[in-house]
Structure formats: C-alpha cells, structure tokens
C-alpha cells in the first residue's frame, strides 16, 4: 500500500476518527497507531491495516511519483471530488480551505 505516516494521520483527522477508533477497526493496538503517526518504524502489516481502514471510509491515496509528492482525496461525502483538482483551480482551493476551517471550528 505505502502511504506516508503523515498522510495516514491527516486522513484519520479529516475523517474525525480517534486513534482508538482507528486501532479497533484495524485490529491493532492504539499504541501501534500512535507510533505509526509519529513516524516510528513499524511493521508493514500495521501500516497496511490502517490504510485499508481509511480506504474503506472513502479516502483515496495518491501515490508519490518522481515529479510530485503523494496525496489523498476525500470521499465525496466530505466534500471531496472524484478527480483531483488542478493546483491552479482557485475554486477547489477555496472550497478545501472552507472545509478545513469548518472542521477546525474557525
């Protein structure tokens, strides 16, 4: 699978899941999720299990390439698009900023 720990953590937070909830769904310990999210080396089985849970919740991970870093797409229920917006799409960027503000309570 292979999403970075930063993307896995971001996906969990965007979905509003706690580490405990994610751990229960992935059938791993909360400590394993915590270590994963701090970037500590772990077992690929745990990484794969966590990523699989996030994908079942509708997150789509975009693999890293030689020319761009990896990313993620939100599920449509959370305001995500089916196709990644272009970097110059001001309307999409504004919608994402508004979503993040709503989620953070600003």
Q: Give all domains of the chain, ordered by start, each with its CATH number.
A: 5-104 (1.10.260.40)
pLDDT at 31 > cutoff 80: yes
Write down the pTM of the prediction. 0.70
- Average pLDDT for residues 25-52, to the nearest whole number? 93
Distance CA 37, CA 9 (A): 6
pLDDT at 1 > cutoff 80: no
First to last CA, the chain: 34
């Amino acid at each position: 699978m292979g999403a970075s720990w930063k993307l896995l953590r971001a996906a969990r937070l965007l979905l509003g899941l706690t580490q405990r909830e994610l751990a229960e769904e992935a059938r791993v310990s909360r400590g394993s999720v915590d270590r994963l999210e701090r970037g500590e080396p772990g077992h690929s089985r745990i990484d794969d299990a966590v990523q699989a849970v996030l994908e079942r919740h509708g997150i789509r991970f975009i693999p890293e390439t030689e020319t761009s870093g990896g990313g993620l797409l939100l599920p449509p229920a959370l305001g995500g698009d089916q196709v990644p917006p272009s970097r110059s799409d001001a309307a999409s960027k504004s919608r994402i900023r508004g979503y993040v503000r709503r989620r953070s309570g600003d």
